[in-house]
Amino acid sequence: MTDVLIIGAGVVGGLLARELSLYELSVALVEKEDDVAMGATRANSAIVHAGFDAKEGSLKALLNVKGSEMMEQTAKELGVPYKRNGSIVVGFSEEDRAHLEELLARGVKNGVKGLAILDREELLKVEPGIGDTVTCALYAPTGAIVCPYDLAISAIGCAMDNGAELYVDFPVERIEAIDGGYRVYSGERVLEARTVINCAGVYADKIAAMVGDESFTVFARRGEYMLLDKECGGVCRTTVFRTPTKMGKGILVSPTVDGNLLLGPTAENIDDKGDTKTTPAGLASVARSANEQVKGIPGGKSITSFAGLRAVGSTGDFIINSPRAGFYNVAGIESPGLSASPAIATYVADMLRRDGVTLTPKAGATRVRESMHAFRHMTVEQKNEVIRRDPSYAKIVCRCEGVTEGEILAAIRTNPRPRDLDGVKRRTRAQMGRCQGGFCSPTVVELLAREMGVPFEAVTKSGGGSYINVGRTKGADAQ
């Protein structure tokens, strides 16, 4: 019987798995998709919020501020890009200014440092690109950006290095209470665990209901985005929000840690918890709002669009509780869930400790993981040394992002292993540039097929039936 089984391999389940893998515990992480970081963690704004939004006294506020303080160190340990670029919430009217004053007061109560209201003149020094009709802003110098899926992938890899086991393609369908724990079913596959932790994102209410806990529901609120070419990454330095509404923090304009420009998200409550399509109306509203906040956004430089689903819980706060012995909910983790994720991990570990789970530090376990992006940041001399040892690092596969064959092979061979094109993309950035894989995806398919020992027709874009090739058109085995 496993000591702890975590359901859901997003950033929350992933960082929790890493935290628990530091102790003398057997840890299993199960995920319904064919890869990790496939839920909200894959598609969000990537902002480490300073912590002025959440209502004072709430778990969201507590864990946001703590998580934001922990994030830089966490990202460093896991070799994940992080940048403290600061954030601003812009206002266009006296009414907005009053709202910003409220956010400032709330932020001060939450313990956020360095907050200030800026007039237009002061604001221009912080963010020269702000829109012509912006009159004031709340400035949060501790706001930051990070790569969310990198964080989850690296945390899960770290947990696996420490001995945790990952089961993908494991949609939990039933949970049965047994003597001393739970039996967790996915089709024919069954795992037993003393403790089960529900980190299943938008489906967390369904998992809780499997043990008879119907005390909350979770619904999906879709957010659509546009991602602009790296050429546009310098349009603004800070993350530029507008004054929030009851539907959320509104549309933002932000550089990403990789140098692109991100616009979005919309906020639309939807019934289908799997519906991540983008819509012309949604993207048009993103462009409209973004252009009011920041000047000179070259809309024609959009290279892709995508949508993510916020897991909005019925209580209005994060739902972190234990409705029955040995079963824990970590549910309703909508924004600022990414920012809070390192703090959620330690908070839940403390809950387990309080409930009698023995947490003895494991000899040799580590919080640290080598960066997957090290090659990109090396000096020419260092790169030459790597290429001398492994010539596959001399072959550029993705021209847009400058990703080498050596990096792709290393990603395919490293836990948690990618099994499709999008998995390689999230780990290496190959196919993430201007041409969106038009040039490099055939080579990535060949590398995946070779490494996995499958025919190239069997490689998918993103698991399931997302096949991309039906047969060869050239070469000896062409049909």
Binding site for ligand FAD (CB under 6 A): 7-13, 30-33, 38-41, 44-47, 49, 170-172, 199-201, 203, 207, 223, 265, 308-310, 333-339
Element at 311 (helix H, strand E): strand 302-313
Name the percent of the chain in helix, strand, coil, to the closest 5: 35, 25, 40
Closer by beta carbon to ligand FAD, 71 or else 136: 71
Q: How far is the CB of 414 from ligand FAD (least distance, A)?
A: 19
49 is catalytic: yes
**Per-residue tokens: 160:** 């696996």
CA–CA gap between residue 257 and residue 251 (Å, rounded): 18
User: What are the helix and strand counts (H, E) for the chain?
Assistant: 12, 22
Is residue 181 a contact partner of residue 193, using CB atoms and an 8 Å limit?
yes
Q: How far is the CB of 143 from ligand FAD (least distance, A)?
A: 10
Q: Which residue has the tokens 């090659």?
A: 375
Q: Which residue has the tokens 């509104």?
A: 250
Q: How far is the CB of 60 from ligand FAD (least distance, A)?
A: 10
Is residue 325 a contact partner of residue 34, using CB atoms and an 8 Å limit?
no
Whether omega before 416 lies within 30 degrees of 0, making that bond cis, reads yes
**Per-residue tokens: 258:** 């990789």
Closer by beta carbon to ligand FAD, 319 or else 440: 319
Instruction: Enumerate residues 6+ apart whose C-beta is below 8 A from 465.
Output: none
Q: How far is the CB of 173 from ligand FAD (least distance, A)?
A: 7
Q: How far is the CB of 71 from ligand FAD (least distance, A)?
A: 9
Q: How far is the CB of 56 from ligand FAD (least distance, A)?
A: 18
> Is the Cα dihedral 349, 8, 202, 72 positive or negative?
positive
Closer by beta carbon to ligand FAD, 4 or else 309: 309
For the chain, what is the radius of gyration of the CA atoms?
Answer: 22
Closer by beta carbon to ligand FAD, 28 or else 38: 38
**Per-residue tokens: 84:** 């403290």
Q: How far is the CB of 13 from ligand FAD (least distance, A)?
A: 5
Q: How far is the CB of 122 from ligand FAD (least distance, A)?
A: 25
Q: How far is the CB of 66 from ligand FAD (least distance, A)?
A: 13
Is residue 304 a contact partner of residue 227, using CB atoms and an 8 Å limit?
yes
CA–CA gap between residue 451 and residue 441 (Å, rounded): 15
Angle at 151 between CA 85 and CA 302, to 5 degrees: 60
Helices (H), 142-272: 148-161, 204-210
- The burial of 419, by beta-carbon neighbours within 10 Å (0-12 exposed, 13-18 middle, 19 or more buried), is given as buried
CA–CA gap between residue 253 and residue 170 (Å, rounded): 36
**Per-residue tokens: 141:** 């110098």
Instruction: Enumerate residues 6+ apart whose C-beta is below 8 A from 164.
Output: 17, 18, 20, 21, 27, 28, 29, 156
Instruction: Enumerate residues 6+ apart whose C-beta is below 8 A from 215.
Output: 208, 323
Give the residue closest to ligand FAD by C-beta.
337
Beta strand segments in 8-48, E: 27-30, 47-48
CA–CA gap between residue 193 and residue 2 (Å, rounded): 4
Active site residues: 49
